Structure formats: C-alpha cells, structure tokens
Structure 1
C-alpha cells in the first residue's frame, strides 16, 4: 500500500482591480452576462466569459428549466458555444462570477462538478491548460492555473 497526496494551489486576488488587464476585462464580461441568466428557480445567477486563442470572447449564463436536469450552467453554455462556433480555437482563460437574489455572495464560487468535467474535456482535447478565475458578486477572486487543479483525478477519453 502507498499513499498519495494531491495539493491544489490557487492565486488569490483581493479585488477585480488587482487582476491582469485582460482578465479584468474578461471578469467584467462575466459579470455583465451574469445579469442575463435565466434563474427563476434557484435565484442564483452565474456568468462565464471565455478568452480563446483567436482573441474572441465567448459568453454564457446559466439557463434553468422547470425540469431541473434540462437546464445548463453558465460555464457549459459558454464552453459548448465556443466549440460550436470556433471548433479549432483553444480556450485560454475562463472568468466566472456568481450572485444570488437572496443574499450577497462574497466568496469565490467554483464550477460545479458537471462543469469541471466538461471543461476537462476541452483541456484534454486541446492539450493546453485553461486558467480559471472565479468569484462571487464581490470580494476575492481565485485563480486556478488548470482545470486539473480543481479536478485532479480527471476522467478523460484515454480511459475509455
């Protein structure tokens, strides 16, 4: 028997103003698109903005449905749209912002498990890490250098 240890490292920015300029712009886009989310059930709004290697920015916001499993998270909306419109482009960075109608969200909100797996698919496909920045409505922003930092034992196509 042996034991392994997996360590996740994050860079923490205190405010949006501390972010690199390109990421600040990306986060501002995530905040803007968050306001177009459709969340009549959870009242929890999420926006995602992707920067592609062709310099395009692709946006997504969560879209809920009365049949709960039929909705999609902001991250998957953006990632799937990016691949549909720019199938050869690589995703360089993702900025995510979340807010609730019932309280102020001041802690960074990471992608859910389904979104982590979906992002992992594209990180593996493009064989390049994707930087992920995530925050609440205000407060600190966490940066992960790769999805594998958020989902270290990723299930990928080579396992099939």
Structure 2
C-alpha cells in the first residue's frame, strides 16, 4: 500500500478591509445579494457575486423550496446565470458570504459539494481557474486560487 498526500494552499485575510479593492467591492455585492436569499427552511442565507472577464458582475442568492432538493445555492444561481447570459465570458472571481439567521457566523463558509462540482465544470470549460473568496458574516476571508484547491479529485468530462 502507498499513501497519497494532498495539500491545498489558501490565502487568509483577517477581514474584508484587508482585501484588494476590486475583491472588496465584489464581496460587498455578495453581501447585498445575500439579502435576497429565500431560506425559510434552513434559515441560512448565502450571497454570491461573480466577476466575468467582460466586467459584468453577476449576483445570486440561495433559493429554497419545500420540496427538497428543488432549491438552488447562491453560487450555482450566479454561475448558471452567467453561463446562460454570457456564454463566451470567462468567470474570473467568485465572492461568497454566508451565515445563519439565528446567530452571527464568523467562520468562512465555503461552497457546498454540489456547487464545487458546478464551478469545476466551468473552470474546465474555460481552461482557466476561478478565484474563490469566501467568508461568514464577519471575520476572516479565505481565498482559493482555483476550485482545484477545494475539490482536488474533480469529476470531469475526461472520465466519461
């Protein structure tokens, strides 16, 4: 038997104020998008803002449904809208803010597994990484230079 060690490197910013200005503005758009979340079941609101290479910023918020799993996460809402409205644009940077309606979240909230897989599809399609910044309502912001740091064994079309 052999072992395989997998490492990921993420950057940590102590707060939003430590972010580059362009990313700070994107994170603020994600915060605004979070206000549009419809999360009566989980009581967990998420907002996302996606910067495209044509300078468009697409936002999304989670939208739940009593018929699980018919809802959609904020990240996929933004990514799918961007892909459908701007199919030739590259996705450059994704900002995510999430937290509970019941308490203040200070731990960075990464994309769920389904969102990671969806983001991976578009990273592969465009053959370039998507930088992902994520945070709770307060506190540190984590940055991944690529989805590959968050999902090292991606399932993609090469497996088909």
Query: Could you tell me how far 1:57 is from its partner in structure 2?
Result: 0.3
Deviating beyond 6 angstroms after TM superposition, the runs of 4 or more aligned structure 1 residues are none
User: Residues 10-60 of structure 1: CA distance to partner in whole angstroms, max 9, x if unpaired?
Assistant: 100011110011100000000000011100111100000000011100000
Is 1:46 aligned with 2:46? yes
Unmatched 5+ stretches in structure 2: none
Q: Map Cα deviations across residues 55-77 of structure 1 (whole Å, 9 max, x no partner).
A: 10000000000001000000000
- Which secondary structure does the structure 2 equivalent of 1:28 belong to? helix
Q: Are 1:104 and 2:114 matched, yes or no?
A: no
Q: For the aligned residues, what is the CA RMSD?
A: 0.6
- 1:26-65 aligned at under 5 Å gives the runs 26-65=26-65
Match of 2:157 in 1: 157
* TM-score (norm: length of structure 1): 0.99
| Residue 121 of structure 2 corresponds to residue 121 of structure 1 | yes
Aligned match of 1:148: 148
How much has 1:5 moved relative to structure 2?
Answer: 1.0
What is the distance in 2 between the residues matched to 1:91 and 1:20? 18
Once residues 117 and 159 of structure 1 are traced to their aligned partners in structure 2, the CA distance between those partners, rounded to angstroms, is 14
Deviations 1:75-133 (A, max 9, x none): 00000000010000010000000121111100000000000000000000000000000
Give the TM-score, by structure 2 length: 0.99
- CA positional deviation for 1:2: 2.6
CA distance in 2, matches of 1:12, 1:73: 24
Number of residue pairs aligned between Structure 1 and Structure 2: 160
